[in-house]
């Protein structure tokens, strides 16, 4: 019985961490998009990096919404399934962030 309560508590903690981290990453993506807009205005050329970051911000926003929904859900089976999906989406968004960071770095290096 104590293992089940411990497992449930751990899952709730993970959801809280995903919620906080995802919402922070939305802010990071929006900040970098703003910086890209300033740079592209000064250089008078568009970039693909800000478009990729906008997609990334949408991933993080979806993760934030899903983790919030998971925290608000009272049914354990639904909560657990939603939490697994949210966790996977968060990892996909982190992977996308790494890819975009690499793309931006190499694009700036080669121009």
Q: What is the mean pLDDT of the chain?
A: 81
Please answer whether residues 93 and 56 qualify as being in contact, where contact means their C-beta atoms are separated by less than 8 angstroms.
yes
pLDDT over threshold 70, residue 60: yes
* Structure confidence at residue 6 (pLDDT): 53
| Overall pTM > 0.85 | no
C-alpha span between 74 and 68 (Å, rounded): 12
pLDDT over threshold 60, residue 3: no
Tokens 């966790």 sit on residue: 87
Instruction: Express each pLDDT in 41-53 by its tens digit.
Output: 777 766 788 889 8
* Structure confidence at residue 1 (pLDDT): 47
């Amino acid at each position: 019985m104590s293992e089940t309560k411990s497992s449930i508590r751990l899952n709730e903690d993970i959801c809280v961490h995903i919620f906080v981290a995802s919402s922070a990453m939305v802010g990071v993506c929006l900040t970098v998009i703003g910086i890209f807009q300033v740079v592209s205005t000064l250089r008078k050329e568009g970039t693909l990096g800000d478009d990729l970051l906008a997609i990334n911000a949408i991933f993080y926003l979806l993760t934030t919404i899903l983790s919030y929904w998971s925290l608000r859900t009272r049914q354990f089976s639904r909560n657990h399934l939603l939490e697994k999906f949210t966790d996977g989406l968060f990892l996909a968004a982190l992977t996308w962030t790494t890819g975009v960071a690499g793309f931006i770095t190499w694009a700036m290096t080669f121009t």
